[in-house]
Amino acid sequence: MEHISRLERAIRGILLTLIMVFFLFPIFWIFLMSFQTNEDILRIPPSLLFSPTLSNYQALITGKLVSAAGTLDIAFMGNLWNSVLLSTVSVAVALVLGVPAAYAFARFKFPLSEDIAFTLLSFRFAPPLLVLLPLSLYYQQIGLTDTYVGLIWVYQLIALPLILWIVRGYFEDISPDIESAYRIAGHSWWRTFTRIAVPLAGPGIAAAGLLAFIFCWNNFVFALVLASADKQPVTVGSLAFVTASGIQYGQIAAAIVLSITPTLAIALYAQRYLVEGLSLGAVKG
Amino acid sequence: MTQFAPETAISPAPVLRRRRTKLLPYILSLPALLICIGILVPFVSAVYYSLLRYRLNLPAMKGFVWFDNYKNLIYDVEFWNTVRVSLLYTGLSVGIEVLLGLLIAILLQKPGRLNNMMSILLLLPLMTAPALAALMWKLMTNPNFGILSYLLQLMGVADFKWASAPSSALFTVILVDVWVYTPFIMILLLAGLRSLPKQPFEAAALDGVPRHFVFFRITLPMLLPYLMTAALFRLLDAIQQFDIVYSMTQGGPGNTLLVFQVRSYLEFYQYTNVAKSSALLVILWAITYTLSNIFVKQHLKLRERARGQA
């Protein structure tokens, strides 16, 4: 590698700069837009020099947008709350259900175990609407349409397979000898599970939980089909907001910034674990 | 995969213990099982609906018609348009993502502070909700104030319509797809590249083998399993694309972006034709099922290997 010429280094530098610009510029630009008034946004040519304003965020947080045309109600804070609630509770439920199941799949060979694990994995790749559209008809009959319970139930489709497959891998990495020794010392199965296995797989469980949270937060189609306005998360709510408000570009940008900040923050915080999780354990980071 | 045998533990009441430990894995995986069944019910319903004449606005007409919906689709020009658009979208976006992702992974291969920081920052688009990413690009390509429209105008391309013209709509949504998902390929290939054994490369360097030869004869073949897994992962997702297209144009302009899932969504909600919508989704499922079988095999091979290294 010591023969890298100056020309090659220059090409490398230019390529990487272009790549970084392409992938980061949109986030940077929307971030700037969120601090601009509509007049600043509409100015041609666009300028990086403007006096930043918090009015867009203010309008979103108070839920009232006062303009020359009158006052517009914005339900965005409701959407944000729905996203927090749906993602957090869904992941919590998936962890409670999924971690013991992952342990069972990792430690015991029992009839059908591989079949169940595979069926769950294959759901990850089935068209979501295939399940969602008939489910929306059933939900209407049993009264689960547009309820948090109904949504959290289908969000398990996203969170549970993810947690099951990632955490299973972490359990398989722990040597069973440690657990056997603890059990022979007279401890119950449950104690072994909670005192030895779960703490040892702790980082993996945390990573799986964070990744599942990101996927739940970013999901769009589940709530689009099953939730009406007051239960919608930010992904669906932002789109509705665009349709409703039309030209309030500054607020739209601010809404996008608030909607993507949590997942971006988690990604930066937990990036070390993301690779393994994203590939469902196929690649070690 | 070593088997943990709880039966060997010393136990005061062996018979009772035995029965309990036999049941234990089932009890533990019961929730996962229930979710399986909970999903299988609507799934079977969808297959059943696809064999009916079933429109929500005409409940009286409901009846069993066997494979008529599928036969009608075969003679439907619109259906073939959906197939064409879906395949174009999938092929082009995944193709570009694999090439670009491979390029970035190679550029960032050498571990170092700057390279690591860049690879982390490149994850950000992947963590952005695709539906919101589409909105971001919509703001940037707005004909009145969009920065990209403005930059194109500076370069002499006036009046480029992005997602609102049939000729450039597919290009625009693929651009967003590439923006969101290239980092996925990149991060998997980067992990793959960095985990390759060092010896073949050292030997090649000693022998003075040309670099392009090393790349095509050593790096690429050794990277192939990672490449396959990453590409199949993306193929499976891209053929089912919904979020970006729906959020950007809702399938328009006209029928230019009616990919499978968007089309069946509109059939269901706009035309209330449950049967046709279900038939479309079952066909899509058949495609993804075939692909995912290949995928699972590939995936498990790689997973075993990763576990072996641990």
Consecutive H or E run containing B303: helix B274-309
Burial status of residue B181 (CB atoms within 10 A of its CB: 0-12, 13-18, 19 or more): buried
Residues A122, A262, single domain; the answer is yes
- Distance set, CA A158 to CA A125, A150, A224, A255, B106 (Å): 10, 14, 15, 24, 32
Q: Which residues of A are less than 8 Å from B288 in CB distance?
A: 125-127
What pLDDT score was predicted for residue B244? 95
Residue with the two structure tokens 């990744």: A211
Closest C-alpha to B108, from B179, B222, B194, B180: B194
Nearest CA to CA, how far is B75 from chain A (Å)? 23
A260/B132 CB distance under 8 A: yes
Q: How far apart are CA A170 and CA A175, in angstroms?
A: 10
- Give the residue on B whose Cα is nearest the Cα of A18: B104
Q: How far apart are CA A114 and CA A86, in angstroms?
A: 30
- Examine the fold and report which residue of A56, A73, A90 is the final residue of a domain before the chain moves on: A73
Query: Hey, is the C-beta of B13 within 8 angstroms of any chain A C-beta?
Result: no
Nearest CA to CA, how far is B167 from chain A (Å)? 23
Q: Are B277 and B268 in contact (CB under 8 A)?
A: yes
Q: How far apart are CA A194 and CA A4, in angstroms?
A: 53
User: Which B-chain residues 131-190 have CB contacts (< 8 A) with chain A?
Assistant: 131-133, 135-140, 142, 144-145, 147, 150, 179, 182-184, 187-188
Pairs of residues, one from chain A and one from chain B, whose beta carbons lie less than 8 Å apart: 295
Instruction: Outline where DSSP puts E strands in chain A.
Output: 64-67, 70-73
**CATH number assigned to the domain comprising residue A259:** 1.10.3720.10
Nearest CA to CA, how far is A77 from chain B (Å)? 16
Instruction: Check whether B284 has a pLDDT greater than 80.
Output: yes
B127/A214 CB distance under 8 A: yes
Residues A13, A122, single domain; the answer is no
What band does A83 get if pLDDT is binned at 50, 70 and 90? Answer: very high
Residues A44, A87, single domain; the answer is no
Least confident of A10-14, A83-87, A278-282, B41-45: A278-282
A242/B135 CB distance under 8 A: yes
Q: How far apart are CA A283 and CA B14, in angstroms?
A: 42
Q: How far apart are CA A96 and CA B32, in angstroms?
A: 11
Domains and CATH numbers, chain B: 6-49 (no CATH), 70-309 (1.10.3720.10)
What pLDDT score was predicted for residue A281? 67
pLDDT (tens digit per residue) in B228-243: 888 988 998 999 999 9
Residue with the two structure tokens 């976006």: B93
What pLDDT score was predicted for residue B295? 77
Residues A171, A257, single domain; the answer is yes
What band does B3 get if pLDDT is binned at 50, 70 and 90? Answer: very low
A283 within domain boundaries: no
Residue count of chain B, please give it.
Answer: 310
A284 within domain boundaries: no
What integer best gives the mean pLDDT of chain B? Answer: 85
Task: Give the nearest partner residue to A26 out of B10, B137, B145, using CB atoms.
Answer: B137
A283/B31 CB distance under 8 A: no
Residues A69, A96, single domain; the answer is no
Residue with the two structure tokens 């909600």: B269
A103 within domain boundaries: yes
Intra-chain end-to-end CA distance of chain A, in Å: 24
3-state DSSP percent of chain A in helix, strand and coil, to 5? 75, 5, 20
Q: Which residues of B are less than 8 Å from A159 in CB distance?
A: none
Instruction: Check whether A271 has a pLDDT greater than 70.
Output: yes
A285 within domain boundaries: no
Cα dihedral A45→A49→A53→A59 (10° resolution): 20
A128/B191 CB distance under 8 A: no
pLDDT (tens digit per residue) in B137-188: 999 998 888 888 888 888 888 778 888 888 889 999 999 999 999 999 999 9
What band does B88 get if pLDDT is binned at 50, 70 and 90? Answer: very high
Q: How far apart are CA B162 and CA B165, in angstroms?
A: 6
Enter the tokens of residue B103: 């390029």
Which whole number is the average pLDDT over A199-215? 90
Instruction: Check whether B296 has a pLDDT greater than 90.
Output: no
What is the ipTM for the molecules in this complex? 0.90
What band does A4 get if pLDDT is binned at 50, 70 and 90? Answer: low
A220/B289 CB distance under 8 A: no
What band does B20 get if pLDDT is binned at 50, 70 and 90? Answer: low
pLDDT (tens digit per residue) in B192-218: 898 888 888 888 888 888 888 888 888
Q: Which residues of B are less than 8 Å from A38 in CB distance?
A: none
Enter the tokens of residue A140: 């209407």
Which whole number is the average pLDDT over A176-202? 84
**Count of domains for chain A:** 2
Residues A202, A274, single domain; the answer is yes
Nearest CA to CA, how far is A125 from chain B (Å)? 6
- Examine the fold and report which residue of A73, A99, A128 is the final residue of a domain before the chain moves on: A73
Q: Which residues of A are less than 8 Å from B191 in CB distance?
A: 275, 279, 283-285
Task: Give the nearest partner residue to A183 out of B6, B41, B135, using CB atoms.
Answer: B6
A43 within domain boundaries: yes
pTM comes to 0.89
DSSP state of B94: H
Instruction: Check whether B62 has a pLDDT greater than 70.
Output: yes
A1 within domain boundaries: no
What pLDDT score was predicted for residue B1? 39
Which whole number is the average pLDDT over A114-138? 82
Asked if the bond preceding B197 is cis, omega within 30° of 0, the reply is no
- Examine the fold and report which residue of A57, A73, A89 is the final residue of a domain before the chain moves on: A73
Q: Please list, residue by residue across A62-79, b when 16 or more beta carbons sit within 10 angstroms of its beta carbon and e when fewer do.
A: eeebeeeeeebebbbebb
Residues A218, A249, single domain; the answer is yes
Consecutive H or E run containing B63: strand B63-64
Residue with the two structure tokens 């009015």: A55
pLDDT (tens digit per residue) in B21-32: 677 777 877 877
Residues A40, A105, single domain; the answer is no
DSSP state of A35: T
Q: Are B96 and B174 in contact (CB under 8 A)?
A: yes
* Sign, Cα dihedral of A220, A225, A227, A228: positive
Consecutive H or E run containing B52: strand B52-53
What residues contact residue B133 under an 8 Å CB cut-off, 6+ apart?
A: A26, B125, B176, B179, B180, B244
Residues A127, A244, single domain; the answer is yes
Task: Give the nearest partner residue to B120 out of A189, A268, A279, using CB atoms.
Answer: A268
Enter the tokens of residue B212: 């392009």
- Distance set, CA B302 to CA A101, A122, B54, B224, B263 (Å): 23, 17, 44, 11, 35
Instruction: Check whether B14 has a pLDDT greater than 60.
Output: no
Residue type at position A73 = D
Q: How far apart are CA A99 and CA A238, in angstroms?
A: 33
Instruction: Check whether B130 has a pLDDT greater than 80.
Output: yes
Enter the tokens of residue B192: 């793959």
- Give the residue on B whose Cα is nearest the Cα of A187: B9
Nearest CA to CA, how far is A117 from chain B (Å)? 8
Q: How far is Cα of residue B293 from the mean position of the Cα atoms in its chain?
A: 14
Q: Are B137 and A26 in contact (CB under 8 A)?
A: yes
Residues A69, A175, single domain; the answer is no
**SS3 state of residue B53:** strand
B129/A220 CB distance under 8 A: yes
Which whole number is the average pLDDT over B253-272? 90
Query: Hey, is the C-beta of B2 within 8 angstroms of any chain A C-beta?
Result: yes
Angle at A29 between CA A27 and CA A32, to 5 degrees: 110
Higher-confidence residue of B282 and B21: namely B282
Residues A61, A120, single domain; the answer is no
Residues A57, A100, single domain; the answer is no
Instruction: Check whether B5 has a pLDDT greater than 60.
Output: no
What pLDDT score was predicted for residue B4? 46
Q: How far apart are CA A141 and CA A162, in angstroms?
A: 30
What integer best gives the mean pLDDT of chain A? Answer: 85
Q: What is the domain extent for residue A189? A: 76-278
